[in-house]
Amino acid sequence: MSNKIMKKLSSFDVAIDLGTYKTAIYVRGEGIVLEEPSLITFRNGDLSSRGIIAVGDEAKKIQGKEPMFVTTVKPLHGGVVEHLEATQIMIKHFAAKAGLLKRFRKPNILISNPVAISNIERRAVRDVASTIGSKSIGLIEEPIAAAIGCGIDIGESRACMIVDAGWGITEAAVISLGGIVHCESERVGGALIISSIVEYFKKHYSLIIGEKTAASITSVLSDVDCKFELDMCVRGMDIGSRLPCLRTFKLEELKNVILSPLSSIIGTIRKTLENTPPMLSADLIDNGIILTGGTALLKNFDKLIEAQTGVPVRIAKDPYRCVIRGGGMALDYLDRFKSA
């Protein structure tokens, strides 16, 4: 029997990181098989197969360019499912693209979720996973997955602290003996930074810019070689004339713009530190804080946290993928999470 047929017949385990910004799928033995934006484009009010125009990467290409009868939505908000039907359609599309639906056996699925979600929100996550057909569904909390993905032995009694600063939510968690000792969550992340930049140009330059333009500015700010004193050009639409135009600004201006959402994240970190038992606080001085998630890449963000908390901070390797990588590694202990 060929390897291709054997692959279809054999049982398999899948980890899913269902994020506000992107969705990733990991198959045991194969690694990350899909990583695409959490976006879906459809004809207004029509989520049938005939109404769906694009999903993921393809939806990203046309985002902001849609005609009046077409809508592109992010079906997740603040780390949780906001539009169940759209999320189910999106994940089914991703599963098909990753080749999961071609196999004869149903997968065991381990899907990550924020710590601070309600039972209803948790049930929605399960409903999304069940859309693609599953033998079993397990849930893993994102800080736990991120810690595993960083290479941390979470079973140790020595505490570690993970700050998973994602697109829609930031969670700061102290982990010891395989569990979360204390966690604080704030629905703030990359999305708020983007919207703050958009609002800044609207208020100070009478310029309307798109989310993609704001995201490209954020990418520049994330560059380790970023020189804040340099000028940068931005394209958008003049509010008064409604015509396309070009504006020049200094990157230095945006320091204070992004400081407000970053201060909220640091406040979340401080709350976690303040509620950590003294015996474990000593461990954190030695082990420090580990930053994961896309917001971790903002230039000097680690230094800002360190200055305001007094605790050493390091950025995880490939922080975008810590959660999905950890979810994939946790498939070896799937039974532990099935009852989650």
pLDDT per residue over 214-244, tens digit each?
A: 988 887 876 655 676 778 899 999 999 999 9
Kindly list the structural domains of the chain, giving each domain's residue range(s) and its CATH number in brackets, ordered by start: 3-38+74-144+323-338 (3.30.420.40), 158-188+259-317 (3.30.420.40), 190-256 (3.90.640.10)
Phi and psi at residue 183, in whole multiples of 5°?
Answer: -145, 135
pTM for the predicted model, two decimal places: 0.89
What pLDDT does 9 receive? 40
| Cross-strand partners of 200 | none
* Residue 337 pLDDT greater than 90, yes or no: no
Summarised one tens digit per residue, pLDDT across range 181-196 is 999 999 999 999 999 9
User: How many angstroms separate the CA atoms of 67 and 49, rounded?
Assistant: 19
